[in-house]
Amino acid sequence: MPQTGLILDTLCILKQGAPLITLNARIDPGEVLTVMGRSGVGKSTLLAAITGTLPPAFQLRGRIVLNGTDITAAPPQTRHIGILFQDELLFPHLSVGGNLAFGLPATVRGRAARRARVNAALTDIDMAGFADRDPATLSGGQKARVALMRMLLSEPRALLLDEPFARLDADLRSQIRRFVFDRAQRLNLPVLLVTHDSADARAAGGKVVELKAP
């Protein structure tokens, strides 16, 4: 039985040879690790390293292992690591249904079958009948739910959250936060949350590490 979960094995990100961030962590399935730190300390850089989109100005040392597979050098699209940003980043030229279908793996074949999966996903987030809507017409909460569902449809094996609740107003924030953590737990995903809001960290309920410049 290979080790499950997301392992960041003595990860070190360097900028022009100088170490910027170091992190050694293990996130078990269904568990949330919260990384906190001042803005500008390189939280987003850390996430870029894990998604495989680190700009060439940075170098990465150490290993990233997901469910027993070393993905340190894998191209981003084959890592199966989902990410949610502060902005929902729904593709503005696609309908709501189109956005969800973009996330749905190509292995789901046939127009009707794909359409059915998209509709089921929309029903699941209380948005049945929204498939043909323009994402720009959705409320903040609806956008957040579509963004999460799009990510989940792509069957990720881990989830990264880049301050995904920072833009939402207080009411909505706790609601969406609960929604995201519930879903991730139900799917048994290891979750890495990056935030500067300690309420996020409390709600996540897992371990908290403070990110500092070494």
Partner 1 sequence: MTRRSGLHLAPALTLALMLGPVLAGLLGTLAPALGLFPALGGTEISGAPFMKLIQWPGLGPAVRLSMTTGLLATLLSLGITAVLLAAWHGTAAFRWLERALAPLLSVPHAAAAFGIAFLIAPSGWIARALSPWATGWQYPPDLLIVQDPWGIAMTMGLVAKELPFLVLMALAALPQAQPGRSMLVAQALGYGRMTGWLKAVFPRVYAQIRLPVYAVLAYSMTVVDVAIILGPNTPPPLSVQVVRWMSDPDLTLRFQAAAGAMLQLALVLAALGLWRLGEGVVARLGHGWALRGGRGTRDGALRFLTMGVGAASVAAILLGLAGLALWSVAGVWRFPHLLPDTLSLRSWARHGPGLSDPALDTLWIAAAATLIALALVVACLESEHRYGLKTSTRSLWLLYLPLLVPQIAFLPGVQTLALMLGGDTGRGAVILSHVVFVLPYVFLSLGDPFRSWDSRHATVAAALGASPARTLWAVRLPMLLAPVLTAAAVGFAVSVGQYLPTLLIGGGRVQTLTTEAVALASGGDRRIIGVYALAQTGLVMLGFAAAIAIPRVLWRNRRGVKEG
Interaction site with partner 1 (CB under 8 A): 48, 51-53, 55-57, 74-83, 85, 87, 89-93, 102-103, 105, 134-137, 150-151, 154, 156
Q: Shortest approach of partner 1 to residue 159 CB, angstroms?
A: 9
Q: Which residue, 112 or 136, has its beta carbon nearer to partner 1?
A: 136
- Residue whose CB is less far from partner 1, 1 or 106: 106
The minimum distance between CB 157 and partner 1, in angstroms, equals 11
Spatial contact of 50 and 25, defined as CB atoms under 8 Å apart: no
Residue closer to partner 1 by CB (options 106, 170) is: 106
Token code pair at residue 209: 């590490």
Token digits for 89?
Answer: 């980043």
Evaluate whether 119 touches 128 at the Cβ level (below 8 Å).
yes
CB of 33: closest distance to partner 1 in angstroms? 18
Q: Are 132 and 79 in contact (CB under 8 A)?
A: no
CB of 134 to partner 1, least distance (A): 5
Are 90 and 63 in contact by the 8 Å Cβ rule? The answer is no
